[in-house]
A and B are shown apart, each in its own frame.
Chain A
Amino acid sequence: MKITRRNFLEGAAVLGFGAFVYDQGRRRRMETLQADEDPTRTEEIGELVSGEWRPTGCLGCTSWCAKEVYVVDGRAIKVHGHPDSKVHGSADCPRAHLAIQQVYDPDRIKQPMIRTNPNKGIDEDPMFEPISWDDAMDLFADKIMELRDNDETHKFGLFRGRYTNINGLLYGNLPKIIGSPNNISHSSICAEAEKFGPYYTQGYWNYRDYDVRNTKYMICWGVDPLNSNRQVSHYLNVFGELLENGVQIATVDPKHSSTAAKSHVWMPVKPGQDGALAVAMAHVILTEGLWSREFVGEFNDGGNHFVAGETIDEGDFNEVHTNGIIKWWNLELKDRTPEWAEEIAGVDAATIRKVATDFGNAAPEALVFMGGGSNMQIRGGYNSMAVHALNGLVGSAEHEGGTITGRSAKLGSFTDPAEFMDEIAQRNSGKQKIDQRGYKNLPALKDGKSGGGVVTNRVADAILAEDPYLPKVMIGYFCNFNYSCPEGERWNRAMEKIEFFAHCVTHYSEMSHFADLLLPSTHHMFEQMSSAAQKGNGYTHLWIGERLIDPVFDAKNPESELPWMLAEKLEEKGFSNLMDYLKTFSDPETGAEPTDGMELETNCFKILTEPIWNPVKYEETENQGTKYNSWDEFLDAGIWNSDAYEFRKLWSNMPTATGKFEFYSETLKNALQEHADKHETDIDDILATCNYDVTGERAFVPHYEEPFMLGEESAYPFTFVDAKARLAREGRSSNCSWFQDFKDVDPGDIKWGDSIKMNPEDADRLGLEDGDMVKITSPSGEATATLKTWIALRPGTVQKNFGQGHWAMGHVAAEDYEGRKARGSNNNDLLGAEYERLSGSTAFYGSFRVNIERA
């Protein structure tokens, strides 16, 4: 019979069903919806309510800008700079906006998942299956307990990519309590060589700030602050003002960068030859008598005896706040004329002379803004010293209008983990870290110590060689080393060897492919409490943001909720040290112990920032900046600003061996000697082992080193210029459609594609045309890209932006996500895994040759 609504009851009876299905239906209960008990709820379908700007911050690069997010009905709608930040005010950078596309990306990891295919490999399907957080943490805890039972807790390791202010708990202390030395950060694929120069001249291992508002002359050297780094929000805003006010700007970069486009002078240095340019400029500043008498000092007779080619008696010069100016002259500078540098650096002598002279004349309100381009090179350590030393020479280090170190917020500290480390933990956490830092060929001299810094990219080789040992149980968060490290293929093979790897991230990345547990992470900007501090514009700000929206999926904060859940499981299995430790993270206001991961999250930030929001602690710690009366008041404002920088306080008070700004670095000499002694050899041998060709005393002054290039010029005729795409949130934003739609905001790049740029003269010579697909080959790999002819690049070089080349991350980032086909190519497939070994920094620039041919 035909059943219609009219005869439904009758028809249903005829078909012989009824009561049973009714019962089934009635017994079913809702699973995705529940009664809304909110008393303010209306019965009507309401209009969109108006939103509210709420404070937070952006970790899309190391600028760490303070932001406000417009939240409407629990949804993040838009972003702008926090108007109360003294670093950048309401000025913004385009990258922050992509964060909204990240958080609302349907490709995010939605729930914990477990690998069911035990075989790991690039061509293996991990066959991930859902698992509850509870079961996932239970399994993770089992793996850690196995290490503890076998007294091999040092085989636990943690990889940290980006992070917030409270990372000291997960990254700093959790591995120690478990009993491992292995907390591996990403720092050496980020900077380190850039910090090497400032440290071994003025004792400062960090990024610097620049007092651009008071400067008269700025040299942007291997840095593109209008594009990618640093404080892009601030510099995009202030650059117009600088130009209007007549500030002279020179940019040193092999490519005509965004900053070069807004500069008065572009010095297209040959990749890797920054050192030649820097010492030649120093030569001019001295021979022209433009050094700072106030900072450096003067000749006893008041004259100028810096004459090209002539050595000087050290006793003839009375040095003030610096150390070793005459040694530097005699050992290095006396013969480094602009004419000598012209051919080597590829910048004509007249330009070198003019920039150095104008810079010296403008000083001390003149600064060199140094980025990684000039020094994250195989022989870049001394470039870093030479470029930064120009600030010392003209007395602009720590001076108005010069380069400054910035003042930090004084923060609270977490409980010392020492008393929660049992005998196993104490013993095993003292073992050699797995990145081989401090090995003879990897001094990594952070803070003046042999093995003081991380050598992130070395971990892959160390795992493959099982030297010092093979880690077994690892967790990584906010990181994707298989993509972001040169020669990522080594990471693929290395991660295959890790018995158990948990990856806590927002997106399934190239590294996740090797995970045993996929753990969905909250997004730092919206879904978790978050905080970071950074400097710029002569101030330091520290921003803080509450959870602005509910996590979109079943995501947890890796820095607080995850350690809590792990501690619970470890406690169940008889190891309560971590939980005992976490329970010391009491609420500073109420004294109450945390009872879950969310409370731990809040308490961590409260403890850390107490010297900011608690007036008593504020006075005790002598913080100087915004004053708050309570946690709520601080949280509501979401930002603390330091007072303005105090200039010249560090003059003759620098944390170097001599207390001075060192042109002759006793600090470096001590560090190298300690490292040489450790390996029972001499400094010359150490330097040779680290690919430097300097010997003797020149090793302690900023000096020219011929670049160490990977690839013979005959086979690989082009030097490769890597740069970071303007919209790349550290390689994580490629799955945002805006990244692809606006890819051409990197001049010369193409939307939804990947291009390599070449000077038209070179293209003509090779018979290549704009739009041709080309194959790029280096000694370590190959890639393809669309050729773009680009006049704004020195001949003999090719330039390609980092950011494309994901085969994972999502269906926008990858051309064929399922088929693991990347959109474009990853620059890291072309760069060999090499290092500026004195700092531990990975080399990204000035060290690589490639060949280009039609694909």
Chain B
Amino acid sequence: MENFLAHEEYRGIIYQLLSEAYKLPEEAEKEKQILEHLLELLPLVSIETKKLIEEMIGNMGKEEGLEKVRRDHLKLFVGPKTLLAPPYGSLYLEEKGQIMGPSTRDAVRFYQAAGLKKSDDFKEPPDHIRTELEFMSYLISEVVKDLSELKEKEDCNREEVLNKCEKFLELQEKFLQNHLGSWVRPFTQNLIKNGDTLYYQNLGKITEEFVRFEVMENLKQVKLEFEEIKRN
């Protein structure tokens, strides 16, 4: 159980850190901190990411680094001109060149099922890369929170908690399958191809690497381990 919780905690943090890495960078130090945390965590699942993150940190540390990264961010995700890596799921899942499509609505239904909605302060479509990464982080953190309580508190309704955890694991699986995991590759390919900075090129690479690992390997393992917990 402890091993499971530790791993899930880290896993959730990686999603959260990746989500933050897609914000418009404000301060070089803050960005470096996010990257340093990622450097501690991501190489555990893929050693190839170590060099990539180190390059990103180096890039951010250079003179004019932050300014260049900000420029790159605007060109890739904000505009006002053509977005070179539009960060919206519908553009990849529907191929109609439109935001707020049926797939966007489908993402919202996932959020609703987990008791969430898009933040009032976030003025972007709800299938934004940041939101989808953050959603995964939330789903994971809820499982961690509930299982921790189960471990620590004797008066918990074990069946109820496990059912909720199971549901949130299912949401993770389906959300990765239908949303994030389905469009992350063409999105990150855009970053790699159109990003002007190592920061975004490598962010694309590590995002793809991590989500690919999640879809292909990790989530299956998580579910197996959870079954074990349920049995015990």
Interface residues of chain A, those whose CB is within 8 Å of chain B, are 3, 5-9, 11-12, 15, 17, 21-22, 24-25, 28, 30-36, 38, 41-46, 48, 72-73, 75, 101, 104-107, 109-111, 113, 127-130, 508, 512, 518, 551-554, 737, 808, 810-812, 817-818
Contacts and interface: CB of A to CB of B under 8 A. Distances in A.
A36 B117 contact: yes
Contacts of B79: 107, 109-110, 508
A12 B10 contact: yes
B2 A9 contact: yes
Interface stretch (B98-106, B150-158, B183-191, B200-208): B98-106
A5 B7 contact: yes
Contacts of B124: 32, 110, 553
A48 B104 CA distance: 12
B99 A36 contact: no
Interface of A is mostly: loop
Given A12-B6, A21-B10, A32-B122, A110 B117 contact: no
Contact of B40 (A17, A42, A553): A17
Contact of B86 (A31, A35, A106): A106
B91 A41 contact: no
Interface string B54-84: 0000000000000000110010001111110
Given A8-B44, A130-B78, A33 B16 contact: no
B57 to A, nearest CB: 16
Contact of A810 (B82, B91, B130): B82
B221 to A, nearest CB: 5
B92 to A, nearest CB: 11
Contact of A812 (B97, B105, B110, B111): B97
Given A28-B13, A32-B130, A46-B113, 20 more contacts: A8-B7, A24-B37, A30-B116, A30-B134, A32-B122, A33-B118, A33-B119, A34-B119, A42-B112, A43-B113, A44-B113, A73-B108, A105-B98, A106-B99, A107-B82, A111-B78, A128-B80, A737-B97, A810-B82, A817-B82
Nearest to A42: B112
A98 to B, nearest CB: 12
Given A32-B131, A35-B116, A113-B80, A101 B98 contact: yes
26 contacts: A3-B44, A5-B7, A5-B225, A9-B7, A21-B37, A21-B41, A22-B9, A22-B13, A28-B16, A28-B20, A31-B20, A33-B118, A33-B119, A33-B131, A33-B134, A36-B117, A46-B113, A106-B86, A106-B88, A109-B80, A110-B124, A111-B123, A113-B80, A128-B74, A508-B81, A810-B82
B78 A110 contact: yes
A106 B80 CA distance: 10
A518 B80 contact: yes
B112 A36 contact: yes
B125 interface: yes
B9 A73 contact: no
7 interchain residue pairs of minimum CB distance: A554-B123, A25-B13, A811-B82, A36-B117, A508-B80, A32-B131, A8-B7
Given A21-B13, A25-B12, A73-B105, A5 B116 contact: no
Contacts of A17: 40
B93 interface: no
Nearest to B111: A33
B2 to A, nearest CB: 6
A478 B84 CA distance: 26
B3 interface: yes
B160 interface: no
B3 A817 contact: no
Nearest to A41: B112
B78 A32 contact: no
B210 interface: no
Nearest to A2: B47
Contacts of B10: 8, 12, 21, 25
Nearest to A507: B80
Range class of the B interface residue count: 35 or more
Contact of B6 (A8, A73, A111, A129): A8
A11 B24 contact: no
A31 B122 contact: yes
Contacts of B99: 104-106, 552
Contacts of B125: 552
Contacts of B131: 32-33
Contacts of B118: 32-34
B32 interface: no
Contacts of A128: 74, 80
B109 interface: yes
A810 B20 CA distance: 28
Contacts of A818: 81-82
Given A12-B6, A106-B88, A508-B81, A46 B44 contact: no
A130 B24 contact: yes
A28 B99 CA distance: 28
Nearest to B129: A32
B93 to A, nearest CB: 13
A289 to B, nearest CB: 61
B49 interface: no
Contacts of A12: 6, 10, 44
Contacts of A24: 13, 37
B199 interface: no
B120 to A, nearest CB: 7
A41 B125 CA distance: 20
Contact of A75 (B2, B12, B81, B100): B100
Given A24-B13, A24-B37, A34-B120, A107 B83 contact: yes
Contacts of B98: 101, 104-106
Contacts of B40: 15, 17, 21
Contacts of B197: none
A104 B174 CA distance: 26
| Interface hub of B81, B128, B225 (most chain A Cβ within 10 A) | B81
B134 A9 contact: no
B19 interface: yes
Contact of B100 (A32, A104, A512): A104
Contacts of B120: 34
Contacts of A72: 105
B46 to A, nearest CB: 11
Instruction: Specify which of B9, B79, B125, B138 lies most central, judged by the most chain A CB atoms within 10 Å of its CB.
Output: B79
Contacts of B134: 30-33
A35 B71 CA distance: 33
Contacts of B71: 127
Contacts of A75: 100, 104-105
Contacts of A43: 113, 115
Contacts of B96: 737
Nearest to A76: B100
A556 to B, nearest CB: 11
A785 B135 CA distance: 49
B81 A817 contact: yes
B132 to A, nearest CB: 9
Nearest to B86: A106
A850 B25 CA distance: 52
Nearest to A30: B134
B116 A34 contact: yes
B50 to A, nearest CB: 12
A468 B88 CA distance: 48
B135 A33 contact: yes
Contacts of A811: 82
A427 to B, nearest CB: 38
From A24, A72, A127, A817, residue with most partner B Cβ within 10 Å? A24
Contacts of A7: 3
A33 B80 contact: no
A9 B3 contact: yes
Contacts of A48: 102, 105
Interface in B163-209: 174
A106 B117 contact: no
Contact of A45 (B19, B24, B81, B113): B113
Given A106-B99, A810-B82, A9 B122 contact: no
Contacts of B78: 110-111, 130
